A and B are shown apart, each in its own frame.
Chain A
Amino acid sequence: MHIPDGFFDGPTSLGAGGAAVAVLAVAARRTRAVLDDRQVPLAAVTAAFVFALQMLNFPVVSGTSGHVLGGALAAVLVGPWLGIVAVAVVVVVQALFADGGLTALGLNVLLISVVPATAGYAVFRALRAVLPDTPPAVVGAAATGAGLSVPLAAAAFTALYAVGGTAPVDLAAVAAAMIGTHVLIGIGEAVITGFVLTAVLASRPDLVHGAAGVIVRGPAAVPAGPVAG
């Protein structure tokens, strides 16, 4: 379930919408230069794949399930800006499936696309800076980034709810529950992200934005991917 209509008040929903549009505009500008005959289909396929992944709810604790967000995975595959755009498209399409309120579109884009892609990619880059340039390191860094991106998004949700939530709730309790649950869901995200990335690196490492410069099977390095992000 994404955020439905009614959870947040008008101003917060509108503000989130404005912020989402602003970020997407920046992302659009940043990716223009790298959108070629390879990146367009790659990013589109990434979006389609994330849509599918988000349908696969897995149990976390009794009575609760979770699903992949996919922002960190998308960012590692096609770069952070294209990753944001790709997952934003997923969120918009999901609204047509009545998953995520129409008035909550901005909020859902921010919390499901922007925050996870940005936070996940930041952690990924930080880890890659200190790890060796090998495929396992890429997978480990991406999985860690993905795993952390989920509770971070949950924390962001709670912070936004403190500002514009419509129901009077015990914020500390909501924060604890949201973050606690999403730490567990993040483990699933990390595992699935690692699995998918391992598969892609095994077949086409040259297509992985986050694997540029990585040593694959001997001294031949992967040619540098597009420079964006």
Chain B
Amino acid sequence: MSAVPARTRDLRFLVACIAVALALAGLVAYHASEEPDGLERVAADHGVDAAAADHALSGSPVADYELRGMGEGRAAVGLAGIAGVLLTLAVAAGVLALLRPGRG
């Protein structure tokens, strides 16, 4: 184990984590509970959502975590989830890279 360079070990670990995240979003998320979450439930039960407005991006290709044009099944949710994980990874990496000293 000590013969493996530190950077390789880091890369392997990070890739493994991303793989797990992709599996969770791409395969497991479809089976997640469809019930309204805590906020949505309470909002509906107590009238908190009386003035809720439609989302400006409800026309987005991944609105509600379903890839547009693929129905509401496994593929739609799975692909939207994968897109979200990768997009988050990219945006986070980009933002953090910009914050590094020497770039500001």
Q: Which residues does A use to contact B, with CB under 8 Å?
A: 1-7, 28, 31-33, 35-45, 47-53, 55-60, 63-67, 82, 85-86, 89-90, 92-99, 101-102, 154, 157, 161, 165-170, 173-174, 177-178, 181-182, 184-185, 203-204, 207
Contact = CB atoms under 8 A, between A and B. Distances in A.
Chain B interface residue number, banded: 35 or more
B57 to A, nearest CB: 5
B81 A64 contact: no
- The 8 residue pairs across chains A and B that have the minimum distance between CB atoms: A6-B53, A65-B33, A167-B50, A47-B92, A98-B63, A44-B93, A55-B29, A44-B92
B92 A86 contact: yes
Interface of B: 7, 9-10, 13-14, 17-18, 20-22, 24-25, 28-29, 32-43, 45-58, 60, 62-65, 80-81, 84-89, 91-93, 95-97, 99-101, 104
A97 B95 CA distance: 19
Given A6-B53, A167-B48, A58 B33 contact: yes
B82 to A, nearest CB: 9
B36 A48 contact: no
Contacts of A168: 47
A177 B46 contact: yes
A97 B99 contact: no
A40 B93 contact: yes
Contact of B48 (A42, A55, A98, A161): A161
Contacts, number: 213
Contact of A93 (B18, B49, B88): B88
27 contacts: A4-B53, A4-B55, A5-B53, A6-B53, A40-B96, A41-B93, A43-B92, A43-B96, A44-B96, A45-B14, A48-B21, A48-B86, A49-B20, A52-B20, A55-B29, A57-B35, A66-B37, A89-B88, A98-B60, A154-B39, A167-B48, A167-B51, A168-B47, A170-B46, A174-B48, A178-B38, A185-B38
A33 B101 CA distance: 7
B100 A64 contact: no
A96 B61 CA distance: 9
Nearest to B63: A98
Given A47-B89, A169-B46, A181-B41, A64 B36 contact: yes
Contact of A90 (B14, B28, B42, B88): B88
Contact of B99 (A5, A28, A66): A28
A55 B32 contact: yes
Contacts of B13: 203-204, 207
Contacts of B95: 85, 89
Q: Which of A28, A32, A98, A181 has the most CB of B within 10 A?
A: A98
Contacts of B96: 31, 35, 39-40, 43-44, 82, 85
